């Protein structure tokens, strides 16, 4: 039985209870304080702590809906351990409906673990990392491809030689999206910074769209539930695909001609080397170029708009390196 209060700043969650509130992280240009929404769920049973965050990039909204649904489904009286949820991380970018903060023109997911005397984004990252994230045993940083269409996948962002790589890869497997991108990420990603202090972390990419995407949100909800079940937060067995694809590199497809793109392959398609992926037509609809896959793989992502300039990417192919059960 859990007998410990869960305390974060002025928020106190008694055992078997949840509490909603805010964490002050800075001031607006007129001096008005701004805060991030925080939910603490303190289970009646003892256990580990899971940290969930969304909207680290301000235009990536699917993760917010995932957190909303998870908070509807979990019950503190039957939960073992604790859940910390932050539905909106990048305050300024969210309100500007863009990925980067308009205050410092910075991508929040390049700022962890943050700096107490740094830019606005670095200060927010520092406050989150040292107030909330350090308390966690597992972290899930919910992302998507912005508004750009891509498959639903999970990212492991530490080097294969890292001491936490196996734990992060297992977390990604249990999330169960079926597609895992396993490649060390850029410095400052939460999925790289948290493992540096021993916290396995993953970066699910829940598709890419304007607004909500119901299918990607449902996969994200199932993924978080899988984690909660596998790591003994709640009862039940995770629902996993029979086989999951692990990719460790992408191949970009570029157009030689500018024009309008007509795709011959869909996202998730397994494509073979030299297979036609897209045709580029001029403004009159005449074929100017056929773009073929340079090697076999999975059609992973593409731009949101169906027109390109010469030398512009028309998509990416993920090249499988492994398959796991």
Digit-coded pLDDT (tens) for 191-245: 999 999 999 999 999 999 999 999 999 999 999 999 999 999 999 999 999 999 9
Same domain, residue pair 234 and 182: yes
What's the structural domain count of the chain? 2
Whether 67 maps to a domain, the answer reads: yes
Measured in residues, the chain has a length of 325
Same domain, residue pair 170 and 67: yes
- The whole-angstrom separation of Cα 105 and Cα 77 is 43
- The whole-angstrom separation of Cα 104 and Cα 121 is 7
Mean pLDDT of 105-130: 96
Mean pLDDT of 24-51: 95
Residue 37 β-bridge partners: 22
Residue 268 β-bridge partners: none
Alpha helices in the chain (DSSP H): 62-73, 91-96, 120-131, 165-175, 190-193, 214-230
- The whole-angstrom separation of Cα 84 and Cα 135 is 9
pLDDT on residue 9: 83
- The whole-angstrom separation of Cα 197 and Cα 212 is 33
The pLDDT of residue 1 is above 90: no
Same domain, residue pair 229 and 309: no
Whether 135 maps to a domain, the answer reads: yes
Same domain, residue pair 86 and 46: yes
Same domain, residue pair 213 and 276: no
Same domain, residue pair 63 and 84: yes
CB-side exposure of 106: number of CA atoms within 13 Å? Answer: 20
CB environment 139-157: b (16+ within 10 A), e (fewer): bbbbbbbbbebbbbbbbbb
Range of the domain at 94: 6-241
Same domain, residue pair 295 and 186: no
Handedness of CA 224, 73, 216, 55 (dihedral sign): negative
Do residues 57 and 92 make contact, with C-beta atoms less than 8 angstroms apart?
no
* pTM across the whole model: 0.96
Whether 139 maps to a domain, the answer reads: yes
Whether 183 maps to a domain, the answer reads: yes
Whether 111 maps to a domain, the answer reads: yes
Average pLDDT score, the chain:
96
Between 10 and 249, the more confident residue is: 249
Among 241, 266, 289, the domain boundary falls at 241
pLDDT on residue 290: 98
Same domain, residue pair 133 and 234: yes
27 class by beta-carbon count within 10 Å (0-12 exposed, 13-18 middle, 19+ buried): exposed
pLDDT on residue 3: 79
For the segment 44-69, what is each residue's pLDDT rounded down to a tens digit? 999 999 999 999 999 999 999 999 99
Same domain, residue pair 115 and 200: yes
Same domain, residue pair 268 and 206: no
Among 241, 265, 293, the domain boundary falls at 241
Give the CATH number, domain containing residue 149: 3.40.630.10
15: confidence class by pLDDT, cuts 50, 70, 90: very high
Same domain, residue pair 143 and 195: yes
Do residues 136 and 6 make contact, with C-beta atoms less than 8 angstroms apart?
no
Same domain, residue pair 142 and 227: yes
Angle between helices 165-175 and 214-230 (to 10 degrees): 120
Task: Give backbone dihedrals phi and psi of 167, rounded to 5 degrees, phi first.
Answer: -70, -40
Among 241, 259, 293, the domain boundary falls at 241
Give the CATH number, domain containing residue 290: 2.40.50.100
Whether 1 maps to a domain, the answer reads: no
Region of 173 please: left (phi>0), alpha (psi -120 to 50) or beta.
alpha
300: confidence class by pLDDT, cuts 50, 70, 90: very high
Do residues 89 and 114 make contact, with C-beta atoms less than 8 angstroms apart?
no
- The whole-angstrom separation of Cα 62 and Cα 205 is 9
- The Cβ of residue 207 has, within 10 Å, a number of other Cβ atoms equal to 22
Q: For residue 252, give the 3-state DSSP assignment.
A: strand
pLDDT on residue 154: 98
């Amino acid at each position: 039985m859990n007998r410990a209060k869960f305390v974060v700043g002025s928020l106190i969650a008694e055992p078997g209870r949840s509490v909603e509130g805010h964490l002050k992280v800075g001031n607006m240009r007129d001096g008005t304080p701004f805060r991030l929404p925080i939910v603490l769920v303190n289970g009646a049973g003892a256990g580990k702590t899971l940290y969930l965050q969304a909207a680290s990039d301000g235009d990536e909204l699917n993760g917010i809906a995932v957190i909303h649904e998870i908070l509807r489904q979990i019950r503190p009286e039957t939960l073992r351990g604790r859940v910390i949820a932050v539905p909106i991380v990048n305050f300024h970018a969210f309100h500007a409906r863009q990925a980067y903060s308009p205050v410092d023109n910075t991508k929040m997911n390049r700022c962890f673990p943050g700096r107490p005397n740094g830019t606005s984004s670095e200060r927010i990252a520092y406050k989150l990392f040292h107030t909330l994230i350090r308390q966690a045993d597992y972290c899930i940083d919910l992302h998507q491809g912005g508004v750009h269409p891509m498959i639903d996948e999970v990212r492991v962002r530490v080097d294969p030689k890292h001491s936490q790589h196996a734990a992060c890869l297992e977390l990604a497997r249990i999330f169960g999206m079926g597609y895992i991108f396993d490649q060390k990420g850029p410095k400052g990603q939460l999925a790289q910074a948290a493992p540096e202090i021993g916290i396995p972390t993953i970066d699910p990419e829940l598709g890419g769209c304007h607004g909500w995407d119901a299918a990607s949100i449902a996969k994200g909800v199932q993924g978080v539930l899988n984690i909660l079940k596998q790591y003994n937060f709640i009862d039940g067995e995770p629902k996993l695909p029979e086989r999951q694809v692990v990719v460790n590199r992408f191949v970009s497809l570029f157009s030689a001609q500018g024009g309008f793109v007509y795709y011959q392959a869909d996202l998730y398609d397994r494509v073979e080397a030299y297979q036609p992926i897209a045709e580029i037509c001029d403004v009159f609809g005449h074929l100017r170029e056929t773009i073929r896959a340079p090697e076999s793989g999975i059609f992973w992502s593409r731009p949101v708009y169906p027109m390109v300039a010469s030398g512009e990417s028309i998509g990416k192919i993920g090249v499988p390196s492994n398959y796991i059960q």
